[in-house]
């Protein structure tokens, strides 16, 4: 039990450091014009994440919106600044992956897939999504992002 708590604390600290590192890199980077479409898609994705989170807790999303006295459109507006940060972070990670020629091997993709399948072992619909072409593309991106972040961490620590 104590070991699990320590592991969880370490994961949270690693995540905090990762976010801080990425925020610093984004702040120090120059971006050209960022298409509104990218930001609006990310904003919608964030609202969808919120909706899934709320419904996973057994609450109706419309009831949740009423309880916080907001509409879906207001939430979209509220999320726009964070969506812009996410888009910039994604663009930065892609640029580093391209510059450093970071790719994901089939073995790494399989490892990521197996971990996700194990996490959703009781959810047949999610397992189907994971195995789909889009799911595999998504997991390949996750694995690539992890490799980029590991590279960035190692460069900062050296």
pLDDT in tens, 4-57: 788 888 889 889 999 999 999 999 999 999 999 999 999 999 999 999 999 999
Q: What is the mean pLDDT of residues 129-152?
A: 95
Question: What are residue 53's phi and psi, to 5 degrees?
Answer: -65, -45
pLDDT grade for 157, boundaries at 50, 70 and 90: confident
Question: What are residue 135's phi and psi, to 5 degrees?
Answer: -65, -40
pLDDT given for residue 66 in this prediction:
96
pLDDT grade for 77, boundaries at 50, 70 and 90: very high
pLDDT grade for 155, boundaries at 50, 70 and 90: confident
pLDDT given for residue 33 in this prediction:
94
**Cβ atoms 109, 136 nearer than 8 A:** yes
Question: Domain map of the chain by residue range?
Answer: 34-99, 103-158
Rounded to whole angstroms, the Cα distance separating 147 from 102 reads: 7
User: What percent of the chain clears pLDDT 90, i.e. is strictly above it?
Assistant: 85
């Amino acid at each position: 039990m104590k070991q699990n708590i320590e592991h969880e604390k370490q994961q949270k600290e690693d995540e905090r450091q990762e976010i801080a590192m990425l925020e610093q890199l984004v702040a120090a980077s120059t971006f050209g014009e960022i298409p509104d479409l990218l930001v609006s898609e990310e904003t919608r994705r964030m609202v969808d994440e919120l909706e899934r989170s709320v419904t996973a807790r057994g609450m109706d999303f419309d009831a949740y919106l009423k309880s916080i006295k907001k509409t879906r459109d207001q939430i979209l507006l509220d999320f726009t600044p964070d969506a812009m940060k996410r888009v910039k972070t994604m663009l930065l990670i892609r640029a580093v992956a391209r510059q450093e020629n970071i790719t994901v091997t089939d073995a790494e993709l399989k490892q990521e897939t197996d971990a996700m399948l194990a996490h959703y072992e009781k959810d047949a619909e999610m397992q189907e999504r994971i195995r789909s072409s889009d799911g595999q593309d998504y997991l390949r991106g996750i694995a690539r992002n992890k490799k980029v972040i590991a590279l960035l961490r190692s460069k900062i620590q050296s």
